[in-house]
Amino acid sequence: MKTLQLSSALALAYAGLTAAYPNILAELESQKKASGLKHRAAGIFDAASQLVDVSGAHAFTPPGSGDQRGPCPGLNALANHNYLPHNGVGTIDQFIESTTSVFGMGVDLATILAVYGAAIDGNLLEWSIGGPTPNVPSINLLGQPQGISGSHNKYEGDASPTRGDLYVDGQDYLLKMKNFQALYDAGKADDNYDLQLLTDRRAARFQENIDGNPYFFNAPFSGVIAQPAAWSFIYRFMGNKSAEYPAGKLDGEVLKSFYAITGEDGNFTYTPGYERIPENWYTRNQLDPYDVLFLNQDTTFQLLQHLEFASIGGNTGTPNSFVGVDPEELTDGVFNAQTLTQGNNLMCYGLQLAVQELPDLLSGVVTNLASAVNQVSSAFGNATEKLGCPELTKINQDQFTKYPGYTKLKSDGTY
């Protein structure tokens, strides 16, 4: 069986990738020169419609007893400003409405994230942005929904921008000051945190997990879809839009506000659950939503610099033991290491693998497995059709069994 290995230096390609596909690096360079990776940028700015209300009913209100907050700073901020229910539990429609109206997320992308969250973290109808809560009853389920904070390697994953890694830090939902400080330090000279800086930080966090986390697992959804989204969202959604910067500019003060950080550099204080939308903060123009195609473009931008990001796989029980799954064997030839760099294939790969993985993840969890899978596949199908994805109808799930980061999510009492 072919496998793809990563070196500790994180070279541009997997060790072994060039042996299998000797022309791939030249092809990637050609793609970069040809495309220039020209990102869509909102060329219009309308202050009246883009100013986000943080007064009155939407004034910052910290969480109280019983309110849920978790690993996603954006969702925490939405709940703190009552764009999501303040208790941190929302329905699929509420997640779609709040993320599209406040952050300018495209409806297609918002639907994918909301429906998948309801299936993986909730009861198929609603879910918690934190941990288990009686506000998400166990209807449709055989056990208590665990929320995002209990969805490691299902929704939330390793190599987070600021959170700890579950099997290293004992939890995965609280900000780790070391990680935030490194992110802050990377951009403080210019007081600017753009997609290139975030891509560089993502590569560093990826390597840190390979070096120090025996259970690091880059999963189909949390690794290939959610992880690049988490890094891109920092700039795309937190950046403050203006006439001068219609696509947004993210400075240190705005970054701190969204991450519940106060104080001066070198003496920061983190107050869990206190993420807030700054005053005088302007969102994306509604005519330029951040949709699936936009996320695909940002994901490709990151991938062409760090091909390892596409490698589903992980450490095999010791640090620096990363082995990647061969996409051709995993998908019975539908995708391979070369075609993942072409067109929309990487996003197609992650979305379709997530659907194919669902029966295994939800088996013994939901009362009606077919209904749950159909709910997710329907939402994802709209996106994969838009992306023009090749059809993937099955995967070789046995390839995941060598990774303790995968097997633990099915046997660990956390899940």
Contact 341, 307 (CB under 8 A): yes
**15 domain-assigned:** no
Q: pLDDT tens digits, residue range 230-274?
A: 999 999 999 999 999 999 999 999 999 999 999 999 999 999 999
DSSP string, 8-61: TT--SS-BTHHHHSTTHHHHHHHHHHHHTT---------HHHHBPP-SGGGS--
**11 domain-assigned:** no
Contact 156, 122 (CB under 8 A): no
pLDDT of residue 410: 61
Contact 300, 224 (CB under 8 A): no
How many Cβ atoms from other residues are within 10 Å of residue 230's Cβ? Answer: 23
pLDDT of residue 25: 39
pLDDT of residue 34: 44
DSSP string, 172-237: SSSBPHHHHHHHHHHHTTTT---HHHHHHHHHHHHHHHHHH-TT-EE-HHIIIIIHHHHHHHHHHH
User: How does strand 217-218 pair with strand 261-262?
Assistant: unpaired
Tokens standing for residue 356:
């194919």
Pairwise CA distance, residues 206 & 208, whole Å: 5
**3 domain-assigned:** no
**16 domain-assigned:** no
pLDDT of residue 4: 40
pLDDT of residue 260: 98
Tokens standing for residue 153:
């390697």
pLDDT of residue 78: 98
Domain count, the chain: 1
pLDDT of residue 411: 55
What is the pTM assigned to this prediction? Answer: 0.89
pLDDT of residue 31: 44
Pairwise CA distance, residues 45 & 339, whole Å: 37
**287 domain-assigned:** yes
* Cα–Cα nearest to 155, from 193, 202, 112: 112
Contact 284, 232 (CB under 8 A): no
Tokens standing for residue 111:
């639907």
pLDDT of residue 15: 37
Pairwise CA distance, residues 164 & 177, whole Å: 9
Q: Which residues pair with 111 in a beta bridge?
A: none
pLDDT of residue 341: 80
Pairwise CA distance, residues 197 & 201, whole Å: 6
Pairwise CA distance, residues 66 & 131, whole Å: 11
For the chain, which ranges sit under pLDDT 50? 1-39, 41, 412-415
pLDDT of residue 159: 94
How many Cβ atoms from other residues are within 10 Å of residue 349's Cβ? Answer: 25
**7 domain-assigned:** no
CATH number of the domain encompassing residue 96:
1.10.489.10
**209 domain-assigned:** yes
Residue 260, amino acid: A
Pairwise CA distance, residues 72 & 130, whole Å: 9
- Domain containing 77 equals 23-411
State whether residue 362 is helix, strand or coil.
Answer: helix
Tokens standing for residue 117:
């969250």
**176 domain-assigned:** yes
User: How does strand 89-91 pair with strand 126-128?
Assistant: antiparallel
